[in-house]
Amino acid sequence: MGFAGLGAMGAGIARRLHDAGYPVTVWNRTRERAGPLVESGLGWADSPRELAAGADVVFTMLTGAAALEAVGGELLSGLSPGSVWADLSTIAPDESRALAARAQAVGASFLDAPVSGSPATLAAGEMSVMVGGDREAFDRVLPLLQAVGPKVTYLGPSGSALVMKLAINVSLVVQGMSFCESVAMAEKAGIARDAAVEAVMQSVIASPMLRYRGPMIIDGRMPETPFADVALQQKDQLLGLRLAAALGTPLPFAALANEYLTACRAAGLAEQEWIAVYDVFRRIGGIE
């Protein structure tokens, strides 16, 4: 199989597939990122076309629609009839459907297969995968998806998984914002921040996301390499808001959460893990 896109998550997924016993060849715009994987026994392709030509299943995990468009043309030129392109990226559902139509035109199948989780949940074997597209193609690649994460859900026609991913992501950010404002209130009242975070983690409002992301707001715990930085998370938030607007579905809490992501960028936090929004709440609350 082929795998294109070796960011923190993509590299982890490619390695996980290899560790499960599948032969994996990778491609990335910058070859340096592939070095550790190639040293571990994964193959290397010199171009997306070469990657697709040598595989019956190709995975992509890129930062957005522009990156997919830049790579997609070459991938499509290498895909064989009957092959499957499974895209793990988070893009707009209509953009994904357009790629599915282009894959169908060359006799291949396209699946939108966004993941829910982080490098931490991937390492723990708790990643979930949502899939939209041709059911027969899904059944063919299901064992591969289960090697990525044990929780795989087929949601329907092309684009369905991305609709669900965006619905989950806008809720995720709202939950993170609510957590941050609550801890900021407790800290302003004199409770130590680490104690406040611990109390939340032991309470009924704890969630899988908060258990790995919540402790990041404690001094010295912010990861050097973000799981999802502010800019990337806002990209998904805006995709969700645009989808909701097109559907005529109000997302008032998600819209407010998006404004705080904008405040993060204004505060110079665009490249930090997005839960760094806690700093914005501290500044608003006058916490020294």
| Domain over 163-284 is classified CATH 1.20.140.10 | no
pTM for the whole thing?
0.94
| Superfamily of domain 2-157 in the CATH hierarchy | NAD(P)-binding Rossmann-like Domain (3.40.50.720)
- Interatomic CA distance for residues 171 and 61, integer angstroms: 22
Amino acid at 256: L
User: Looking at residue 8, what is its pLDDT?
Assistant: 87
User: Looking at residue 124, what is its pLDDT?
Assistant: 87
Task: Output the six-digit token pair for 129.
Answer: 């995968």
Task: Supply the DSSP symbol for 243.
Answer: H
- Matching residue, tokens 């669900």: 164
Q: Among candidates 182, 123, 178, which has minimal Cα distance to 149? A: 123
User: Looking at residue 211, what is its pLDDT?
Assistant: 93
User: Looking at residue 209, what is its pLDDT?
Assistant: 93
Q: Among candidates 286, 124, 280, which has minimal Cα distance to 217? A: 280
Taking only the tens of pLDDT, the chain with its 288 residues reads 999 999 989 999 999 999 999 999 999 999 999 999 999 999 999 999 999 998 999 999 998 899 999 999 999 999 999 999 999 999 999 999 999 999 999 999 999 999 998 888 898 888 999 999 999 999 999 999 999 999 999 999 999 999 999 999 999 999 999 999 999 999 999 999 999 999 999 999 999 999 999 999 999 999 999 999 999 999 999 999 999 999 999 999 999 999 999 999 999 999 999 999 999 999 999 997
Q: Among candidates 185, 194, 170, which has minimal Cα distance to 261? A: 170
For the chain, what are the domain ranges? 2-157, 163-284
